[in-house]
A and B are shown apart, each in its own frame.
Chain A
Amino acid sequence: MKKFLWFLLIATFMVFVAGCGFGDNSEDATSDNDNSSSETDDGDTSESAIEGDKVINLVSTADIPTLDSAHAHDGVAFTVLNNVNEGLYRSNENHIPELAIAEDHQVSDDGTVHTFTLRDAQWSNGEPVTAHDFEYSWKRIFEVVGHYNVMFETAGIKNASAIIDGEASPDELGVVAEDDKTLVVTLEGPNSLFTQLLTFPVFLPQNQAFVEEMGDEYGVEADKILFNGPFVLESWQHDQGWTYKKNPDYWDADAVNLDGINVNVVKEISTAVNLWETEAVDRITISSAYVDEYRNDESFNNEVIASIVFMRFNHNLEHFQNANIRKAIDMAIDKEGLTSTILNNGSEPLYSLVPYEFSYSPDEEKDFRELNGEFNQGSAEDAQALWEQGLSEIGSDGFEFALTVADDDNHVKSAEFIKNQLETNLPGITVEIKTVPFEARLEQEKAVEYDMVVSTWGPDYGDPMTYIDMWVTDGPANRMDYSDEEFDSLVAQAKVETDAAVRYQLMLDAEKHLLDEMHIAPLYQRADAILTRPNIKGLVRHPAAPEFEYKWVDVE
């Protein structure tokens, strides 16, 4: 009966795969109190989920690419690193950086020499966390050409730019461990962003002996990284999920309420919703299709995030050099209608560069937006008046231009709406939509080979400067050949100003200068529609990476 050869073949194959189907590198983690009843399965021999009173189940849309803080480059990794490791500073509930592994921070009078004294803290292998660990990891990021080594340039650490440009060796970076407890960092000049930036994961310490022992594999598995943060990674199964467990050796362990967190990789929103319904997960992001169904649920929440969508004008084109034309185009678009009718995903219309609920002034703690207000709002008639005036200034009776947009669903919908609005409200304008893949959009954007383009930007750090210094002459994020001396000078002043209030005012002025003439056309600020079990409290979401803070989460 040779036809059974096939059955035999498949059967053997299945025996083979049955052995490797479910990750088997997990020790039994269900050692604590076993009061689980929510799971619909039994006989879970290889399951590595943590069970306990204070455990939450989260989803992630992607796996962690790497946990080597020198190479980490995405939000998932930044969040994990932030919760399993700790650097000199950690942002608190109000997104203000607070001393963490550093116990004390002294600054020299000229603001360039920062001396940190470390507290007693230890790695998960029992080794103490020392100043040498910081010096090692900061220099290492240049040796391995990490994605985010530019953060050291932003922080203004001595020689960072020169090292990136190949003019100095990583060894010359302005960081020295004087002894195990004292770290001295030298900056090129005073930098008010410095402590804020220190919360970013590239500034985390790494234990040299351990990293060298792991070699290339450092940070790619749960047992190939050391922890010194509120949690440790109990397990990590690629593209399946990972598990946090409270770190008993963390210096501030008393502040940590959770026993653990299970994170599952779920890429489909509909799947996440079904898992939510079976109570397998406790917090999910839903798409606009589900918003109406859950809008009145007590678990529903619309969280605005600091990610903006706007349009760049190509400043080399004559008609876009005219302020009235730019203002007319910006004003002619009904942004309220765009977000509420076309997108309907919780996004908020944006009339500025810096988004809402992103930054608060140092003295009065007022929203940056509240202080600078909204720009260029007006009716279609106002827009028309500006349009007529602009056209007469450039001596034209209208023109045609292309609007480049990435092939993202929301962006294409927005572009179609914009085309319709402009062609309806501004007589003589013709818009041709050019839909290109995301990567191609970026390339054209960087080469300034477009007329107008729908662009996006998310913050690198939690300070308005991350939006404002985009527009300095020849800045890498400018991408529209905008150049204005006064604007450049405002930004330059803000960057070296040490008085926080004065600096904030300079940034307000810079935004005003840019938007008084609408050099960009803001569209909307993104938001996430979120379902969270109401008994979960204290989850902090920072406006910039690292995004999530689980340290203070509690289950009631």
Chain B
Amino acid sequence: MLKFILQRLGYMAITLLIIITITFFLMQLLPGTPFSNPEKLSDRQIEIMNEKYGLDKPLAIQYFTYLGNLLQGDLGISFQSQGRTVNAMIAERIGPSALIGGQGVVIGLVLGLILGIISALKHNTIFDYGSVFVAVLGMSIPSFVFAALMQYFIGVKWGLLPAALWKDYSYSIMPSLALSVLVTATVARFIRSEMLEVLGQDYVNTARAKGIKEFSVIIRHVLRNALIPVVTVLGPLAVSIMTGTLVIEKIFAVPGLGEQFTLSILVNDYSVIMGITLFYSALFIFVIFLVDILYGILDPRISIGGGKKDVR
């Protein structure tokens, strides 16, 4: 187990290094400068500023300087907001994103579980069709459509919740709901199909034959086994939702990370692009690693120490 973890950590570091390198050099292909208002900047002015920020040095030197700073945990300073460190920007922006994303995942997980279980247990009944319909709807309609509808009806027409902005807790509810739609649909679909499969397994019949209560059978034997594929998709999904979703954040004017990321690419804010890419990748890789460990806990049949490969 320890060997496995150390090995994985090694691979994770290498993966990150590759991501940093590729992003760093791809970024150089973007046209333009990281300085804003380029329409007004004369070439001379750009030259002077490049010099000041070390952008006139050979790429290799810039690259190793960046890596050196990175090892000390310094992601650099934003070109757009002089004086603000990328570390501070990420720290400030991840909060709102993680809050609405985290709530979205929890709501989605709970609703998805309920829908999935109902449709599996009431297979081929009106409940099943209803749940499947909801799931398909959630998968196929983009979340910003729900967001816009919710904002208009709940926020403007009925005035139940603030339409947008970010001031106190009530402002986080609608964005969370909008984000939960995709999670609900995904979880419901996986739970349904997995449960249907597990319900037909011999050990379920065995458990029932032993006289265990139906409720316990479902929770302890069926659901637990049906959760494995959900964990697989939910890990990465949760990361991508909690690290910021551009559209939802824009619609509800949430000061989150997703919006910042897109903006930084549009304005060539090199250090911010690098910082957020790195942060996102690191989190992503870590969650995949976590998911692999969770497999072992959820399903003892999967051994992570070696031997059997995991089922992804």
Chain A residues in the interface with B (C-beta under 8 A)? 2-3, 5-7, 10-11, 13-14, 17-18, 20-22, 39-41, 43-47, 49, 63, 65-66, 68, 71, 73-74, 145, 147, 150, 164-165, 216-220, 237-241, 264-268, 270-271, 274-275, 277-278, 280, 437-440, 442-443, 446, 456-458, 460, 476-477
Which residue from A20, A41, A43, A73 sits with its C-beta under 8 Å from B162? A41
**Cβ-based interface call for B161 (8 A):** yes
Name the CB-closest residue of B to A19.
B95
Quick check: A456 and B168 within 8 Å, CB to CB? no
CB distance from B17 to the nearest CB of A (A): 27
Knowing A278-B155, A439-B32, A442-B38, say if A40 contacts B162 (CB, 8 Å).
Answer: yes
Quick check: B31 and A437 within 8 Å, CB to CB? yes
Quick check: B102 and A14 within 8 Å, CB to CB? yes
Which residue from B43, B82, B163, B251 sits with its C-beta under 8 Å from A68? B82
Knowing A65-B81, A145-B52, A267-B250, say if A476 contacts B168 (CB, 8 Å).
Answer: no
Knowing A40-B159, A216-B83, A270-B251, say if A476 contacts B99 (CB, 8 Å).
Answer: no
**Cβ-based interface call for B282 (8 A):** no
**Cβ-based interface call for B93 (8 A):** yes
CB distance from B34 to the nearest CB of A (A): 10
Quick check: B253 and A46 within 8 Å, CB to CB? no
Quick check: A237 and B255 within 8 Å, CB to CB? yes
CB distance from B74 to the nearest CB of A (A): 13
Which residue from B37, B40, B106, B152 sits with its C-beta under 8 Å from A14? B106
Complex interface: chain B residues within 8 A of A275 (CB): 163-165, 253
CA–CA, A74 and B35, complex, Å: 11
Which residue from A63, A266, A457 sits with its C-beta under 8 Å from B165? A266
Quick check: A271 and B83 within 8 Å, CB to CB? no
Quick check: B164 and A266 within 8 Å, CB to CB? yes
**How many contacts between A and B, using CB within 8 angstroms?**
190
Quick check: B250 and A268 within 8 Å, CB to CB? yes
Quick check: A6 and B161 within 8 Å, CB to CB? no
Quick check: B36 and A74 within 8 Å, CB to CB? yes
Given contacts A6-B234, A41-B167, A439-B32, 18 further A-B contacts (CB under 8 A): A2-B297, A13-B102, A17-B98, A22-B168, A41-B170, A43-B168, A44-B167, A66-B83, A66-B84, A73-B35, A74-B37, A147-B37, A216-B77, A240-B166, A271-B253, A274-B155, A437-B31, A438-B32
Q: Which of A2, A10, A66, A74 has the most CB of B within 10 A?
A: A10
Complex interface: chain A residues within 8 A of B38 (CB): 439, 442
Complex interface: chain B residues within 8 A of A267 (CB): 250, 253, 259
Which bracket fits the contact residues of B? 35 or more
Name the CB-closest residue of A to B148.
A270
**Cβ-based interface call for B252 (8 A):** yes
Q: Which of B48, B81, B89, B170 has the most CB of A within 10 A?
A: B81
**Cβ-based interface call for B245 (8 A):** no
CA–CA, A95 and B224, complex, Å: 71
Quick check: B31 and A439 within 8 Å, CB to CB? yes
Quick check: B102 and A278 within 8 Å, CB to CB? no
**Cβ-based interface call for B23 (8 A):** no
Q: Which residues 148-179 of B have a CB within 8 angstroms of A?
A: 148, 151-152, 155-156, 159-172
Which residue from B32, B167, B224 sits with its C-beta under 8 Å from A3? B224
Which 10 pairs from chain A and chain B are nearest by CB? A439-B32, A476-B42, A239-B255, A71-B82, A439-B31, A20-B95, A21-B99, A240-B255, A17-B98, A65-B81
CB distance from B68 to the nearest CB of A (A): 19
CA–CA, A275 and B152, complex, Å: 10
Quick check: B297 and A17 within 8 Å, CB to CB? no
Q: Which of A275, A437, A460 has the most CB of B within 10 A?
A: A275
Knowing A5-B294, A14-B102, A216-B83, say if A271 contacts B163 (CB, 8 Å).
Answer: yes
CB distance from B100 to the nearest CB of A (A): 9
CA–CA, A381 and B99, complex, Å: 64
Quick check: A6 and B102 within 8 Å, CB to CB? no
Name the CB-closest residue of B to A64.
B81
**Cβ-based interface call for B80 (8 A):** yes
Q: Would you list 12 pairs from A and B whose C-beta atoms are within 8 A, ordered by A residue?
A: A44-B168, A45-B168, A47-B168, A65-B80, A71-B82, A73-B36, A145-B48, A165-B44, A238-B93, A274-B151, A278-B155, A280-B162
Q: Which residues 68-106 of B have a CB within 8 angstroms of A?
A: 77, 80-84, 89, 92-96, 98-99, 102-103, 105-106
